[in-house]
Chains A and B, each alone.
Chain A
Amino acid sequence: MRVAVIVFPGSNCDRDAADAIMQVTGKMPKMVWHREAELNSIDLVVLPGGFAYGDYLRPGAIAAQSPIMKQVRAHADAGRYVLGICNGFQVLTEIGLLPGVLMPNSGTKFVCKPLKLKVENSDTAFTNGYKNNSSISIPLAHHDGNYLVQDDELSQLEDNGQVVFRYEVNPNGSVNDIAGITNQQVNVLGMMPHPERAMGKTDANNDGETLFKSLMEALQ
């Protein structure tokens, strides 16, 4: 599995994502600066967490205009895989690879804690290692995770099984407790929680590792 992690000015989980990929694949991913214009022979693009461009204008809005994002779009349009974590999810909604938008948390506070998620669809390349309806614990760290989407698109997400992760207790006001969604073709996943922070290292929790292992399995 050949992986690229896109690095924006203000990304701060890019190396965590790289460590997670390294742990699972044994190979360091390619770190790709956002100003680069090429993505060659890559199976999976990771858009990491952080605060690209300081969240100026809106989270992800400026990052979505970076030169590399044209390539990320082409990569996704070709059916190859994209994983957007936290700020990466926000970037994916801003460029329209995923529907909806991530608004400021309804409680106005930055939320930073491990949280239980329900796996709603394990029939994806990102989640095949989980059991359907299982409860997993993944850390959360964001200010803008309040997912909102137009009603017709919400029904579409629900009907197609595109809601992959749901919060057991809603931390941010997100509609239908949504924590992570895929696109219709199921090759793009955006999620607010940080699987790269649950790799079984600093604590016993390796629920995030399963996601990266699932991808490795699917992309081999």
Chain B
Amino acid sequence: MKAIVKVQLKPGVLDPQGSAITGALQALGYDEVLDVRQGKIIELDLQGTDHVLAKQRVSEMCGELLANTVIERFSVDIID
């Protein structure tokens, strides 16, 4: 079983890396790009088969370490 954790800055929090990527894409001629928000994906290999419990435990991990909830939001998907 795997957990896929997505961590991203909350809406409204300045994302300097996203701004830099926006500028670079526009410089490449992709004029349709209005804004970019970047984040990270963290993939966890987990033992066990209980998806509900896994989601709960991984959400705890996000609160304690994987995300800083002052500025970041996270989502957790459990897959086989």
Q: Known contacts A57-B65, A65-B65; decide if A150 and B70 are in contact (CB<8 Å).
A: yes
The reply to whether A103 and B19 form a contact with Cβ atoms under 8 Å apart is: no
Q: How far is the CA of A110 from the CA of B60 in the complex (A)?
A: 33
- CB of A95, distance to nearest CB on chain B (Å): 11
List of A residues within 8 angstroms of B68 by Cβ: 58, 61, 94, 101
The reply to whether B70 and A104 form a contact with Cβ atoms under 8 Å apart is: no
List of B residues within 8 angstroms of A101 by Cβ: 68, 70-71
Q: Mark A84-106, 1 if CB is under 8 A from B, else 0.
A: 00000000001000001101111
The reply to whether B16 and A100 form a contact with Cβ atoms under 8 Å apart is: no
Interface residues on B, range: 10 to 19
The reply to whether B13 and A57 form a contact with Cβ atoms under 8 Å apart is: no
Q: How far is the CA of A122 from the CA of B20 in the complex (A)?
A: 39
Output the nearest chain A residue to B64 by Cβ-Cβ distance.
A65
The reply to whether B16 and A108 form a contact with Cβ atoms under 8 Å apart is: yes
- CB of B75, distance to nearest CB on chain A (Å): 17
The reply to whether B70 and A106 form a contact with Cβ atoms under 8 Å apart is: no
Q: Known contacts A108-B16, A108-B20, A173-B14; decide if A103 and B71 are in contact (CB<8 Å).
A: yes
- Let me know if A107 is at the binding interface, CB within 8 A: yes
Q: Mind listing 8 A-B residue pairs with CB under 8 Å? A: A61-B68, A100-B70, A101-B68, A101-B70, A103-B71, A107-B16, A148-B71, A173-B16
Binding site for B on A (CB under 8 A): 57-58, 61, 65, 94, 100-101, 103-108, 146, 148-150, 173
| 5 A-B pairs with least C-beta separation | A108-B16, A101-B70, A104-B16, A108-B20, A101-B71
